[in-house]
Amino acid sequence: MNEPTSSNSDFLVRGSLATVDPDVARLIDHEQQRQFAKLIMIASESAAPESIREAEGSVLRNLYAEGYPHKSMHDQSEHEILDYEAQLPFYRRNADRRYYKGVELCNVIESLAQRRGAEAFCPVGMEPGQLFLNVQSLSGAVANVAIYQALVQPGDTVLALDLMHGGHLSHGSPVNITGLRQKIVNFKVNEETELLDYEEIHELALAHKPKMIIAGFTSYPLAPDFAKFRAIADEVGAYLLADIAHTAGLCAAGCYPNPVGIADVTSFTTHKTLAGPRGAVIITTNPELADKIDRAVFPGIQGGAHFNKIAAMATMFKIAMTDSFKTAQIQTVKNAVALAEGFKSEGLRVPHNGTDTHMVLLDAKSAASHNGEPLMGDVSSRILDLAGIVCNRNTIPGDKDASRPSALRFGTPWVTQRGLKEADMREVASVVASVLKTAKPYQFKLKTGTTPRARVSFEALVSGAERIAVLAAKAGVDAPRKPYTYPFVFDVMSSSPKAAPAAVQAIEIGGEKTHEFLDAILADKASDLDAGDRMESHILGRNRVPLCPVSVVNTGASFLLAIASAQAKTATQWLRALSDNYVIWDDADPARSVPGPVAITEWGDFKT
């Protein structure tokens, strides 16, 4: 391997990422293109502003600063925190709670993030100084583990929402450390109303006397009544943890109930609706609990904090207190409501009958069934991804197996940040319905059993992808202008950089399954061709009906298919769709597959 060259004589590698590691640079470029060519509707994702990313990529990532700022900084205003002329002499003269020197500016940065966070989440009737924030947790799950560490002992009972009904792994799932160390009792939503049943929660609390109750949800789209949770917790002497990981941005903007000052502890992530760096925050108004939580985070389960992320949090909280942020959060909820109503108007079932947050659930079973097999969540998410809509599979009340969820979860933060509105969400709902309603579900046989699969109409998938491409092109004036090079199955954004206007276009097909793939999709056997041979044939469409003429050349390393330019785009999309295996190939047997996958590359003008 050739070492990167540098004009510098020291041991450091100099140069941009594209110079030092072009492979990683290219992967990042592909990912950037993907994020603009598709509509990202993952409820736990958002697009961080440039200012956030700049802070994350700063020299602060070079520091190691175990510990915390001096306690005297907690009650200081932002103006006092940023008074370097006073802070730095104090640091030099007095001991702090750090294990390393050279971190005086880390004290300022962390205190600034804490103060701004306290101001952003301070409830009416309280002062920011009454809130204690830990901003060092690396993720929401880690923050919750720290809270368990601080508030409950191994074997203590914890009451939380069932994972299948919208709870989170870190709320006591048996596959998570929180479920392994504590006795977990789950409450559920009412399966008829699909709403939280506070009477059941009350009865379970009285029966099991939990040490902690968690009011937190990862896929329950309605706002809870934190006061009712508080009353139940008080009656049984339990701590109340409010996990608002998904809804923190809405909460800061006043679009969601604020549990701070009601719950003993509030936790949330910073990369979902807050659109900040990947991290988490823990808030309490109890100084004794604050000390326990700080010790649980460090040195309990973490080492040095990531100060590039903490600086980005400080900027994030500043943004969260602006009018433009609040406007965006209001629009995020409006878009989610419009999406839910759009699904309903298409005849699809929306669990919980709607939303008042940023997320919408969709019962995939309501879209299609075939021979008694319902459409399920996992395969639906895969199909929609091919159409340019990125969402995730999700369980809903009534599901019995977390590995076989029957629903989809959509989030509106990212598309709202890109400027889409209610009418656009109704268009998304229409596309989802138009694609999924053509599905033919079936059971695919595995060595260990079966798994739900489905295939959809090729025409519906292409049409859906084209409609989503229009929305993606409309959304975001800062979209990359480079050619779209991500190997997307339906590249409706732009042509390949190799493509050129010509009477005949060529595509290359390669990979281990090439011979079997071509023998299935051509009217004649390509496997009979020797290297250098050529034949004339037809590409076969659905039900093996000829789609278009094709010239096939065996190059020895791969095959070239020459197709008339007028038919090349459709033919290429069809072949890619068959390789991916989510379109119907045979109406008589929707489970019938074409061998694959294969790699398909557009070559442009075909010359022999």
Tens digit of each residue's pLDDT (9 = 90 or more) over 450-479: 899 999 999 999 999 999 999 998 876 555
Averaged pLDDT, 65-78: 92
pLDDT band per the 50, 70, 90 thresholds, residue 504: confident
Residue with tokens 């005849």: 347
**278 a catalytic residue:** yes
Judge whether 292 and 264 are in contact, CB under 8 Å: no
- pTM (two decimals): 0.92
Which pLDDT score, from 0 to 100, does residue 3 have?
53
Is the pLDDT at 445 greater than 70? The verdict is yes
Strand 157-161 versus strand 212-216 pairing type: parallel
Please name which of 72, 210, 92 lies closest in space to residue 151, comparing C-alpha atoms. Answer: 210
**401 a catalytic residue:** no
- Which residues are CB-neighbours of 478 under 8 A, at least 6 positions away? none
List the structure tokens of 417.
């940040």
Amino acid at position 235, single letter: E
CA–CA distance, 578 with 561 (Å, rounded to integer): 16
Is the pLDDT at 401 greater than 90? The verdict is no
Is the pLDDT at 351 greater than 70? The verdict is yes
* CATH class of the structural domain 325-474: alpha beta
DSSP 522: B
Judge whether 108 and 81 are in contact, CB under 8 Å: yes
Between these two residues, 169 and 104, which has the higher pLDDT value?
A: 104
3-class state of residue 109 by DSSP: helix
CA–CA distance, 347 with 429 (Å, rounded to integer): 11
Is the pLDDT at 483 greater than 60? The verdict is no
Q: Pick from 109-113, 170-174, 191-195 the range whose average pLDDT is largest.
A: 109-113
Is the pLDDT at 15 greater than 90? The verdict is no
pLDDT band per the 50, 70, 90 thresholds, residue 490: low
Which pLDDT score, from 0 to 100, does residue 341 have?
98
- Indicate which residue of 34, 188, 228, 278 is catalytic: 278
Quick: pLDDT tens for 535-579. Answer: 999 999 999 999 999 999 999 999 999 999 889 889 999 999 999
Quick: pLDDT tens for 39-52. Answer: 999 999 999 999 99
Amino acid at position 471, single letter: L
- Indicate which residue of 21, 29, 34, 64 is catalytic: 64
Strand 239-243 versus strand 265-269 pairing type: parallel
Quick: pLDDT tens for 297-324. Answer: 999 999 999 999 999 999 999 999 999 9
Quick: pLDDT tens for 404-424. Answer: 999 999 999 999 999 999 999
Lowest mean pLDDT segment, chosen from 27-36, 118-127, 276-285: 27-36
CA–CA distance, 216 with 197 (Å, rounded to integer): 14
3-state DSSP: the chain helix, strand, coil percent, rounded to 5?
40, 20, 40
Same fold, 325-474 and 504-605: no
Q: Pick from 55-64, 68-77, 112-121 the range whose average pLDDT is largest.
A: 112-121
Phi-psi region of 301 (alpha: psi -120 to 50; beta: other; left: phi over 0): alpha
Which pLDDT score, from 0 to 100, does residue 2 have?
53
Which pLDDT score, from 0 to 100, does residue 498 have?
45
DSSP 281: E
Averaged pLDDT, 169-181: 81
Which pLDDT score, from 0 to 100, does residue 550 have?
95
Output Rg (C-alpha) for the chain, integer angstroms.
28
pLDDT band per the 50, 70, 90 thresholds, residue 480: low
- Indicate which residue of 38, 181, 272, 426 is catalytic: 272
Amino acid at position 520, single letter: A
Please name which of 274, 293, 11, 323 lies closest in space to residue 148, comparing C-alpha atoms. Answer: 293
Averaged pLDDT, 111-138: 97
- Indicate which residue of 243, 294, 346, 363 is catalytic: 243
Q: Please write down the long-range contacts of 320-324, taking CB distance under 8 Å and 24 or more positions apart.
A: 320/120, 320/249, 320/252, 320/253, 320/274, 321/116, 321/119, 321/120, 321/252
**484 a catalytic residue:** no
| 186-218 exposure pattern, b = at least 16 Cβ within 10 A, e = fewer | bbbbeeeebebbeeebbebbeebebbbbbbbbb
- 190 vs 187, 194, 244, 335, CA distance in Å? 9, 5, 21, 26
**243 a catalytic residue:** yes
CA–CA distance, 45 with 532 (Å, rounded to integer): 49
Between these two residues, 15 and 517, which has the higher pLDDT value?
A: 517
Quick: pLDDT tens for 355-388. Answer: 999 999 999 999 999 999 999 999 999 999 999 9
Which pLDDT score, from 0 to 100, does residue 502 have?
63
Judge whether 41 and 71 are in contact, CB under 8 Å: no
So where are the chain's domains?
A: 61-321, 325-474, 504-605
- Indicate which residue of 54, 66, 399, 605 is catalytic: 66
Give 504-605's CATH code, choosing from 3.40.50.2300, 3.90.1150.10, 3.30.70.1400, 1.10.1760.20.
Answer: 3.30.70.1400
**66 a catalytic residue:** yes
Which pLDDT score, from 0 to 100, does residue 315 have?
98
CA–CA distance, 168 with 186 (Å, rounded to integer): 11
Which pLDDT score, from 0 to 100, does residue 302 have?
93
Is the pLDDT at 5 greater than 80? The verdict is no
- Indicate which residue of 178, 218, 247, 269 is catalytic: 269
Which pLDDT score, from 0 to 100, does residue 51 have?
96
* CATH class of the structural domain 61-321: alpha beta
CA–CA distance, 26 with 497 (Å, rounded to integer): 15
